[in-house]
Structures are given as structure tokens and as C-alpha cells.
């Protein structure tokens, strides 16, 4: 079994947090506890490890990390 960490960073200069939050929701809907398949693997599961929302110098940033467990055929 292979274990990989994947991190997504979402940035937005808008004064409102709405856009970056909407993109975070789309990431959650797509990847949270997702089970996928690829040609060389029987089972791929993604689990969100953490997410962090911050604002630095007027830019919103959402950092989201997923653990991907992959089992070869």
C-alpha cells in the first residue's frame, strides 16, 4: 500500500471570504472520503487531514491537505 500527502492551496485577494470558502466546499465535495480507481490500482481513498483558513497581507489562503492511500493490483 502506498501513502501520499497532497496539499491544495486556494488564494483570493477579494475582501470577502466567500469565494475562497466556496472553492473549499467544492474540494470537500470532490475529495472528502473519495474512493477512486486507476489502471494500476485496486483502491484509492482520499481522507482530509487538515484545512486552515488565513488572511495574510490582504490575501485569503485556504490550505487543505489530503492523505491518499493507494493499493496496487
Q: pLDDT of 35-48, one tens digit each?
A: 887 788 877 889 99
Per-residue pLDDT reduced to its tens digit, 47-62: 999 999 999 999 999 9
Give the residue extent of every domain in the chain: 2-72
pTM: 0.84
Q: Provide DSSP, the chain.
A: -EEEEEEEEEEE-SSSSHHHHHHHHHHHHHHTT-EEEETTEEEEEEEEEEEEEEEETTEEEEEEEEEEEEEE-
Query: Residue written as cell 472520503?
Result: 33
Amino acid at each position: 500500500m502506498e501513502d501520499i500527502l497532497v496539499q491544495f492551496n486556494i488564494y483570493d485577494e477579494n475582501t470577502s471570504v466567500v469565494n475562497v470558502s466556496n472553492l473549499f466546499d467544492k474540494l470537500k465535495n470532490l475529495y472528502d472520503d473519495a474512493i477512486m480507481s486507476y489502471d494500476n490500482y485496486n483502491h484509492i481513498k482520499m481522507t482530509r487531514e487538515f484545512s486552515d483558513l488565513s488572511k495574510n497581507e490582504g490575501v485569503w489562503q485556504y490550505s487543505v491537505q489530503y492523505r491518499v492511500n493507494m493499493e496496487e493490483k
